[in-house]
Structure 1
Amino acid sequence: MKLNFKKSGSGQPLVILHGLFGSADNWFSIARELEKNYTLYLIDQRNHGDSPHADEWNYRVMVKDLLELFDDEGLSEVFLMGHSMGGKTAMNFALAHPDRVEKLIVADIAPRYYSVHHQTILEGLNSIPLAEIKSRKEADEHLSKYIDEAGIRQFLLKSLGRDENGFVWKINLPVITKNIEEVGKALPQDGKYKGPTLFLAGANSNYIQQSDLPDILDHFPNYEIEFISDAGHWLHAEKPEAVIQQVRKFLK
């Protein structure tokens, strides 16, 4: 699959993968700083953003998509970074193609299995009657019945686009809803990436816990971890300066 991506800057290539329900746009503010030192590739993963939709959606095919992009762009070795679902894609890619990853950065996700915890979000998104609503405000009103936090609703509604017939989802909502279990799947037990790896964890997030460290060490023996203070799971949105600082320090 030919993924949509945005390229900017100059220097060694740094590829960034967004999380579930996100897109390349989530990383624009951070990219504006990092592109001063690196060639940034902000990727829309399949079924997200402006990349194609497909019925098959799992980490195996997302790794294959990424490899195709690397080959098309002539990227023999990159710095690879991913957040949440994108972090799982990045980890799986590093295990499958370690020779293509010079350094790996994983933002607020561990290699383990995560149980499904997006049911309320999916119910809310599926409740919006796209054929009937006339404005984003109406969509937000529908979503507010399921999600109290305005910031989360604003993030989710970034995936609401328009065509000549009205509102449409840029995410492949039916396939994501059907296959949501795929997002939480653990890495292969025998997989190992020996290159330098940085885990960035939100200090207020529960996605990476002390109990995850042995599993992280098993898969990524050359790892280090930094906790971003006063940040939750969306650490790059909550504390972008701290994330930029840690990324620059690690990639040097």
Structure 2
Amino acid sequence: MLRALGFSRWAQPSPLRPLLVHQAKGKRALASHVMTPLPLSYAVLDGPSPQPPLVFLHGLFGSKTNFQSLAKMFVLQTGRKVLTVDARNHGSSPHSPLMSYKAMSADVQLLLQQLHLHKCVLIGHSMGGKTAMVLSLQRPELVERLVCVDISPSVTSTVTSFPAFVAAMQAVDIPRGLPRSTARRLAEEQLRSTVPEPTIRNFLLTNLVSSEDQFVWRVNLEAISHHLNEMMSFPDFQTSYTGPTLFLGGSKSEYISSNDYPEIERLFPQAEIQYVPDAGHWVHADQPQQFLAAVCNFLELSPP
């Protein structure tokens, strides 16, 4: 059966050490290790502007390549530096059994610290949008502006098919030794009944990679499956982020509804909500030009 790709070189376990005799001490050490922020994989496109860079955070099953074309367009349009980032358990970033928004926020904070970025514009889609919200609420001084793409600070389990996608991907069975074209075709055939939309199937198949004569899922399905309910919810916050905020939804999507407006207003009192016509959940892929225009217009607005 197709297996999930294991830990990257950044997350290799340390050499074996003698067992800790004191059980409580061992538990504390394990918790400390698990909560350690991970060094994320990222790509940078430099721009001449001294203004804070744009940092793109992708959604579940995505990677930094989702925003590759748009990143170039944003550099040309705004002159700002643009970073595209792989979340933990996605793309080329390390795998970890822990999957929470506070952990992913800590990962991005570590990256900003490593790059000496004291201020940025966070642009997050879906899971990446929730990560961006958490970071903004935890460390508002790091965030010049916030853009949340087709996601709100609410429970999304009633509007998503992601649990079915995870189960379908875990059930895919590809024999060893097949060429890539054959392996991809077999995976696509096995996903078709659960994922009938070709664009979504192709998106999921971007995670199919070759490893040791076998095709595997690059995304860490085990960790995602274990924490999926947490990914569909949002942490409790009593603080707010008062910086300029844009919630940019797709007109054909249900991820940002009028039921979410009170919580958006409570946590993000300066937020505006817009919908891109003829766009579904993947707004930036469905209508890239309109997405680009909406974000650029938002960046040009004066602070309140």
Once superposed, which parts of structure 1, at least 4 consecutive aligned residues long, lie more than 6 Å away?
none
Tell me which protein shows more strand as a share of its residues: 1
Say whether the 8 Å CA contact 1:18–1:24 is kept in structure 2: yes
Asked if residue 141 in structure 1 is aligned to residue 189 in structure 2, the reply is yes
Output the TM-score relative to the length of structure 1: 0.96
- Whether 1:22 aligns to 2:62 is yes
| Secondary structure of the corresponding residue to residue 125 of structure 1 | helix
2:148 matched to which residue of 1?
A: 106
Segment of structure 1 superposing worse, 85-94 or 29-38: 29-38
1:144 deviates by 1.1
CA, structure 1 residues 120+98, in 2 after alignment: closer, same or farther (shift >3 Å)? same
82, 88, 106: which one aligns with 1:46 = 88
**CA distance, structure 1, for counterparts of residue 142 and residue 80 of structure 2:** 17
* Higher deviation after alignment, 4-13 or 152-161: 4-13
> In the alignment, which of 213, 219, 225 is matched to residue 177 of structure 1?
225
**Residue 7 of structure 1: aligned partner:** 44
Q: Structure 1 residues 199, 133: CA separation in 2 closer, same or farther (over 3 Å shift)?
A: farther
Cα RMSD, aligned residues only:
1.3
Structure with the greater alpha carbon radius of gyration:
2
Is the CA contact 2:41–2:93 (under 8 Å) kept in the aligned structure 1? yes
Counterpart amino acid of residue 154 in structure 1:
N
Matches within 5 A, 1:211-250: 211-250=259-298
2 CA distance for matches of 1:115 and 1:227?
21
Query: 123-132 or 228-237: which moved more?
Result: 123-132
After TM superposition, the score normalised by the length of structure 2 is 0.80
- Residue 164 of structure 1 deviates from its aligned partner by 2.8
Secondary structure of residue in 2 paired with 1:38? coil
Equivalent residues of 1:55, 1:175 under 8 A apart: yes
Q: Unaligned regions of 5+ residues in structure 1, if any?
A: none
For residues 121-149 of structure 1, give each alpha carbon's deviation from its aligned partner in whole angstroms, at most 9, with x where no partner exists.
11210111244472211111111132111
8 Å contact 2:58–2:66 — kept in the other structure? yes
Pick which of 49-58 and 110-119 moved more. Answer: 110-119
Name the aligned partner's letter for residue 138 of structure 1.
L
- The alignment status of 1:120 with 2:172, answered yes or no, reads no
Aligned mates of 1:9, 1:130 — CA distance in 2? 40
How far did residue 63 of structure 1 move?
0.7
Does residue 242 of structure 2 align to residue 194 of structure 1?
A: yes
Q: Could you tell me how far apart the structure 2 residues matched to 1:119 and 1:14 are?
A: 30
